Amino acid sequence: MQELVTRAKELLADGTVVRVLGWKRGDLSYNPEPAYFNSQEELEQFVYDGFCGANLSKYMIEGSKKEGKTLVFLKPCDTYSFNQLIKEHRVDRDKAYIIGVGCRGKLDVEKIKAQGIKGIQNISGAGIEEDTDTLNIRTIYGDKTCTYGSAMLERCHVCKGKEHMIFDEEIGESKDTKDADRFAEIEKIEAMSPEEKFAFFQKELSKCIRCNACRNVCPACSCRKCVFDSNQFDSAQKANVDSFEEKMFHIIRAFHVAGRCTDCGECSRVCPQGIPLHLFNRKFIKDINELYGEYQAGADTESKGPLTSFTFEDAEPGIVVERR
Amino acid sequence: MYKIAKENLSALFQTIAETKELYLPVKISGQVNFAAWDEEAEVSLETLKTVKSPKDAFFPQSETLYTCKKEGKKITIDPEALKEKEFVVFGMKACDVKGLEVLDKVFLSDPVDTYYAARREHGIIVAMACHEPEESCFCKVFGVDCAEPAADVSVWMVEGTLYWKAGTEKGEALTKSVESLLSPVEEEKKDGLAAGISELEKLELEKQKIRGIVEQLPYTQLSLEGWGKEENLDEKFNSPKWEELYHPCLACGTCTFVCPTCQCYDIKDYDTGHGIKRYRCWDSCMYSDFTMMAHGNNRTSQMQRFRQRFMHKLMYFPVNNDGMFSCVGCGRCVEKCPASLNIVKVIKAMGGDQ
């Protein structure tokens, strides 16, 4: 981690960048926050560890509007989002100096708590350079341990890989964290009857509190004014109504990001109610792969998206009936 | 003081539910929130914090206020019926109860919010002590004692026994209605424990244990110096720190919607095709159309909206309500903010030493 700070200081000092976008140490051992650093002194607060799950790509929409270049630290999976944002002209490549950082999987404190660990005072073993598979957790209720893997975000178990899709330089090693099939959960749902599917999603989506965290964190949701916020139209919807969340909000959002979602998993990470929102997006990704050929949004900045280009080989609408 | 064995709680819930609506922490799809009890409900009294606070029971996230219908040239307006049936909210925590005191200041002051007042009148609160407080808790900072929750009925769970103490007339009436399931705690009797102490003494020891844990929590020593005082209002409002603090904020409504004291709402009309339903729903000061008026919006940046939330809780509210802060230290925002921002970080960054 120190290497990142040192390099950031150099880039600030030689004028390559005027600010740094990274993560700032929190006041608990698991709550660092995304932050801008404007000076070498401020960088003393910089942290990069297992709890830095936040994808900083979307913050670069604002970063691109600022004067001068911003140094941004991106994990391998974050770079897909950044590429996609370039493709959609939402970030300015020339305003970013990208350091691709290594990643050994990101942690979710909820997964630690789900193992019955409460009253956390300190967590060790979450550092990026540490070569341990055990998290040692000091709590008010005694010392506990859990494995790094058991505390990892779902998305890290289906990691897209160690490569950065875009960067100016790379610092640090990444680890293979993939130990599950990306589409296994989708296949399970596909095997359900329509009634079972509906019941499953209804149960999950009725937990939604309409906080918009999934939308606001999503790098693919970058409309300046969301149709659901617009008070110019009847589509605005602030009320927490199950029928809306189950049949409209999340479904429409999934359709809107289809073909553009990189599967960064931020929606599921931030949901306060633990709704597995990534399942919708991943179902679309799987369908696109099957109907239009393998496609990974954000793997590059030039290719046309499967749903935004036309070819004579495109699936016909009737495919819906055939596949039912 | 009464008691009931943990394994008999479902019978207790059943009995309460025979005559009243009963809301308590229920696990649904992995998350625990207050929900109506039924026989299949997976009740989770061990859960320290429900995701949302129980404020929904008194101030629902969305509710219809009245319905307008037009027939020919005649328009009828039907107000929604007020709560008439008694209901019990079981397992609220001391911080959540304190949260209701904050809401009372808002909704029971003139002009009284009749929908809220009816729910307060018919709601019976059974509050539970927090036996294992966690690192995100800081209720003591706001004068809350989680070992001694004050409500219509206060309950403690000690070694598989739920101790039950009525604190108000409503609580006495509820106790009477379930008396057959409760057994009295004999105050003097030593219950044969190794230490030879009575059950009441055992309960006191439990409370001491809880207070001991609270002292060890990382946020317990948080200082509120400088907050809540009118003379500091301009200084806080104009602090350059807001500009640094707000940056990670995603402008989502998570903090406001899990909060037991956030009380802002929006009122809108829903066109049913043959009439209008006028409803209200929780609003969030984090949203861009919050307090939108005909001339536009008086807060045009996220920094201003972010500042509003904390200035409201820590300055405007206490200044207008005899020093009562509108934060109760439940720590839900600490746990749930997607960007790991929260009121504690704000208090620390701008408090005491300033």
Distance CA A293, CA A184 (A): 19
Q: Using 50, 70 and 90 to split pLDDT, how confident is the model at B186?
A: confident
Structural domain count of chain A: 2
Same domain, A77 and A203: no
**Same domain assignment for residues A208 and A159:** no
Question: What band does B272 get if pLDDT is binned at 50, 70 and 90?
Answer: confident
Tell me the pLDDT band of B197, cut-offs 50, 70 and 90.
Answer: confident
- Residue A212 shares a structural domain with residue A304: yes
**Interface test mutation site (partner A, options B217, B340, B343, B344, max chain A beta carbons within 10 A):** B340
A250-257 helix and A278-292 helix, angle to the nearest 10 degrees = 40
Considering the domain architecture, whether residues A235 and A159 belong to the same structural domain is answered as no
Give tens-digit pLDDT for A255-270: 999 999 999 999 999 9
A117 lies in some domain: no
The predicted structure's pLDDT at residue B30: 95
B180 to chain A, any CB pair closer than 8 A? The answer is no
Question: A308 to each of A58, A68, A324, how far by Cα in Å?
Answer: 22, 32, 24
Claim to verify: residue A43 and residue A191 sit in the same structural domain: no
Looking at the structure, tell me whether residues A239 and A192 fall in a common domain.
Answer: yes
The verdict on B31 touching A (C-beta cutoff 8 Å) is: yes
Domain shared by A163 and A211, yes or no: no
Q: Looking at the predicted structure, is the pLDDT value of residue B92 above 80?
A: yes
Q: Are residues A243 and A95 in the same domain?
A: no
Range of the domain at A220: 184-323
Chain A environment of B28 (Cβ under 8 Å): 203, 206-207
Using the predicted structure, report yes or no on whether residue B193 has a pLDDT greater than 60.
Answer: no
User: Which pLDDT band, with edges at 50, 70 and 90, does B354 fall under?
Assistant: very low
Task: Please check whether residue B218 touches A, CB under 8 A.
Answer: yes
Note whether A100 and A169 are within 8 A (CB). Answer: yes
Q: Is the pLDDT of residue B195 over 80?
A: no
Taking only the tens place, the pLDDT of each residue in B3-37 is 999 999 999 999 999 999 999 999 999 999 999 99
DSSP secondary structure letter of residue B160: T
Task: Please give the pLDDT value at position B194.
Answer: 56
Residues facing residue A22 across a β-bridge: A35
Query: How close A319 gets to chain B, by Cα (Å)?
Result: 33
B217 touching A (Cβ < 8 Å): yes
Task: Give residue-wise pLDDT tens across range A136-148.
Answer: 999 999 999 999 9
Are B254 and A239 a contacting pair at CB < 8 A? no
**A50 Cβ partners below 8 Å, 6+ apart?**
A104, A105, A106, A107, A126, A127, A128, A148, A151
pLDDT confidence band for B353 (50 / 70 / 90): very low
Q: Do residue A247 and residue A280 come from a single domain?
A: yes
Task: Kindly report the nearest CA distance between residue A93 and chain B, in angstroms.
Answer: 21
Query: Does the structure show a pLDDT above 70 at A159?
Result: yes
| pLDDT for residue B104 is more than 70 | yes
Q: Does B40 touch chain A (CB under 8 A)?
A: no
Measure in Å the smallest separation between the Cα of B269 and chain A Cα atoms.
10
Cβ <8 Å between B247 and A34: yes
Angle at B270 between CA B268 and CA B273, to 5 degrees: 155
| Same domain as A310, residue A216 | yes
Are A163 and A81 in a shared domain? yes
CB atoms A211 and B254 under 8 Å: yes
Q: Check: CB of residue B161 under 8 Å from CB of residue B4.
A: yes
Q: Which residues of B touch A54 (CB under 8 A)?
A: 248, 338-340
* Interface contact B281-A238, CB threshold 8 A: yes
pLDDT of B135 higher than 50: yes
What does the alpha-carbon distance between residue B287 and residue B265 come to, in Å, rounded to a whole number? Answer: 12
ipTM over 0.85: yes
Which candidate, A111, A156, A155, A174, places its Cα nearest to that of A137? A111
Domain that holds residue B218: 2-350
pLDDT at B191 over 70: no
List the single range of A208-217, A313-322, B157-166, B214-223 with lowest mean pLDDT: A313-322
Position A50 in a domain: yes
Q: Which of A122-126, A171-175, A311-315 has the weakest average pLDDT?
A: A311-315
Q: For the residues of B281-333, what is the DSSP string, one character each?
A: EE--TTSTTTT-BTTB-S--SHHHHHHHHHHIIIIIHHHHTTT--S-----HH
* pLDDT above 60: residue A178: yes
Q: Is residue A29 a contact partner of residue B338, using CB atoms and an 8 Å limit?
A: no
Q: Which residue has the tokens 């107000």?
A: B79
Residues 6+ apart with CB under 8 A from B62: A239, A240, A241, B279, B280, B281, B282
Q: Give the mean pLDDT of B290-300.
A: 88
Residue A44 forms contact with B (CB below 8 Å)? no
Tell me whether B136 touches chain A (CB under 8 Å).
yes
How does the average pLDDT of chain B come out, rounded?
94
DSSP for A133-188, written as a single string: SEEEEEETTEEEEEETGGGB-HHHHT---S--SS-SEEES-------S-TTHHHHH
Higher pLDDT, A314 or A276: A276
What is the count of structural domains for chain B? 1
> Is A209's CB within 8 Å of B29's CB?
no
Specify whether A188 is located in the same domain as A317: yes
B144 pLDDT higher than 80: yes
Contacts of A36 in chain B (CB under 8 A): 247
Percent above pLDDT 90 for chain B:
88
